[in-house]
A and B are shown apart, each in its own frame.
Chain A
Amino acid sequence: MGGIHPKGHKLSANHSIQEVTLPPRVMIPLGHYLGAPSMAVVSAGDVVKVGQLIGQANGHISANVHASVSGVVAKIDGHVDASGYKVPSVFIDVQGDEWLETIDKTPEIKRECTLDAKMIVKKISESGIVGLGGATFPTHVKLTPPPGKKAEVLIINGVECEPYLTCDHRLMMEKGEEILVGVSILMKAIGVHEAIIGIENNKKDAIAHLHKLAIGFDGISVMALQVQYPQGGEKQLIDATIGRQVPSGGLPLDVGAVVQNVATAFAIYEAVQKNKPLFERIITITGKSMAHHGNYRARIGIPLAHVVEQVGGVPGDTGKIVAGGPMMGRALSNLDVAVAKGTSGVLFIPAFESARKNMQNCIRCTKCVVACPMGLEPYLLMTQSERSMWTEMESDRILDCIECGCCSYSCPSNRPLLDYIRFGKTNVSKIVRARLVRKN
Chain B
Amino acid sequence: MNIIILSILTLVLVGAVAAIILYLASRKFRIFEDPRVGEVEAALPAVNCGGCGFPGCHGFAVACVEAESLEHLVCTVGGLPTQEKVAQILGKKANTFELTVAVVRCGGACEVRPRTNQYDGVSSCAIAHNLYGGDTGCSWGCLGLGDCEVACKFDALHIDPATLLPVVVETKCTSCNACVKSCPRSILELRKRGPKNRRICVNCVNKDEGAVIREACSTACIGCGKCADVCAFDAITLTNNLAYINPDKCTLCRRCAPVCPTNAIVELNFPDKKTINVLI
- Chain A residues in the interface with B (C-beta under 8 A): 78, 80, 83-86, 330-331, 333-334, 355-356, 416, 419-420, 422-423, 426
A84 touches B122 (CB 8 A): no
Task: Enumerate B129-157 residues with CB–CB distance to A below 8 Å.
Answer: 130-135, 139
What distance in Å separates the Cβ of B248 from its nearest Cβ neighbour in chain A?
A: 31
In this complex, the member of A85, A355, A356, A422 whose beta carbon has the largest number of chain B beta carbons within 10 angstroms is: A85
Q: How far is the CA of A419 from the CA of B125 in the complex (A)?
A: 12
The contact sample of 25 A-B pairs, CB cut-off 8 A, is A78-B208, A78-B212, A80-B133, A80-B139, A83-B131, A84-B134, A85-B139, A330-B132, A333-B116, A333-B132, A333-B133, A333-B135, A355-B120, A356-B121, A416-B121, A416-B122, A419-B121, A419-B122, A419-B127, A419-B131, A420-B122, A420-B127, A422-B131, A423-B126, A423-B127
Tell me, yes or no, whether B239 is within 8 Å of chain A by CB: no
A84 touches B139 (CB 8 A): yes
Residues in B whose Cβ lies below 8 Å from that of A416: 121-122
Task: Enumerate B202-230 residues with CB–CB distance to A below 8 Å.
Answer: 208, 212
Tell me, yes or no, whether B26 is within 8 Å of chain A by CB: no
Q: How far is the CA of A80 from the CA of B139 in the complex (A)?
A: 10
Q: How far is the CA of A416 from the CA of B116 in the complex (A)?
A: 23
Residues in A whose Cβ lies below 8 Å from that of B121: 356, 416, 419
Tell me, yes or no, whether B117 is within 8 Å of chain A by CB: yes
What distance in Å separates the Cβ of B200 from its nearest Cβ neighbour in chain A?
A: 30
Q: How far is the CA of A78 from the CA of B209 in the complex (A)?
A: 10
What distance in Å separates the Cβ of B131 from its nearest Cβ neighbour in chain A?
A: 7
Residues in B whose Cβ lies below 8 Å from that of A334: 116-117
Residues in B whose Cβ lies below 8 Å from that of A333: 116-117, 132-135
Which partner residue on chain B sits nearest A386 by CB separation? B124
Residues in B whose Cβ lies below 8 Å from that of A78: 208, 212
A84 touches B127 (CB 8 A): no
Residues in B whose Cβ lies below 8 Å from that of A423: 126-127, 130
A86 touches B130 (CB 8 A): no
Q: How far is the CA of A426 from the CA of B130 in the complex (A)?
A: 8
What distance in Å separates the Cβ of A372 from its nearest Cβ neighbour in chain B?
A: 19
Residues in A whose Cβ lies below 8 Å from that of B117: 333-334
What distance in Å separates the Cβ of B116 from its nearest Cβ neighbour in chain A?
A: 6
Task: Enumerate B34-91 residues with CB–CB distance to A below 8 Å.
Answer: none
Which partner residue on chain A sits nearest B139 by CB separation? A85
Residues in B whose Cβ lies below 8 Å from that of A422: 130-131
| Nearest 6 interchain pairs by C-beta | A84-B133, A84-B132, A333-B117, A419-B122, A416-B122, A423-B130
What distance in Å separates the Cβ of B184 from its nearest Cβ neighbour in chain A?
A: 10
- Besides A80-B133, A419-B131, A422-B130, 17 other CB < 8 A contacts? A78-B212, A83-B131, A84-B132, A84-B133, A84-B139, A85-B132, A85-B133, A85-B139, A333-B135, A334-B117, A356-B120, A419-B121, A419-B122, A420-B122, A420-B127, A422-B131, A426-B130
Which partner residue on chain A sits nearest B131 by CB separation? A419
What distance in Å separates the Cβ of B160 from its nearest Cβ neighbour in chain A?
A: 24
Residues in B whose Cβ lies below 8 Å from that of A83: 131-133
Q: How far is the CA of A116 from the CA of B43 in the complex (A)?
A: 79
Mask, B72-116, CB within 8 Å of A = 1, is 000000000000000000000000000000000000000000001
Residues in A whose Cβ lies below 8 Å from that of B212: 78
What distance in Å separates the Cβ of B179 from its nearest Cβ neighbour in chain A?
A: 16
Q: How far is the CA of A426 from the CA of B184 in the complex (A)?
A: 13
Which partner residue on chain B sits nearest A426 by CB separation? B130
Q: How far is the CA of A330 from the CA of B122 in the complex (A)?
A: 15
Q: How far is the CA of A423 from the CA of B208 in the complex (A)?
A: 25
Mask, B149-188, CB within 8 Å of A = 1, is 0000000000000000000000000000000000000000
What distance in Å separates the Cβ of A418 from its nearest Cβ neighbour in chain B?
A: 10
Taking a contact as CB atoms closer than 8 A, the residue among A86, A355, A356 that contacts B139 in the complex is: A86
Residues in A whose Cβ lies below 8 Å from that of B120: 355-356
Q: How far is the CA of A355 from the CA of B121 in the complex (A)?
A: 10
What distance in Å separates the Cβ of B55 from its nearest Cβ neighbour in chain A?
A: 15
Q: How far is the CA of A370 from the CA of B131 in the complex (A)?
A: 26
Residues in B whose Cβ lies below 8 Å from that of A426: 130
Q: How far is the CA of A422 from the CA of B116 in the complex (A)?
A: 24
Q: How far is the CA of A117 from the CA of B130 in the complex (A)?
A: 40
What distance in Å separates the Cβ of B245 from its nearest Cβ neighbour in chain A?
A: 26
Q: How far is the CA of A159 from the CA of B212 in the complex (A)?
A: 41
Residues in A whose Cβ lies below 8 Å from that of B139: 80, 84-86
Residues in B whose Cβ lies below 8 Å from that of A419: 121-122, 127, 131
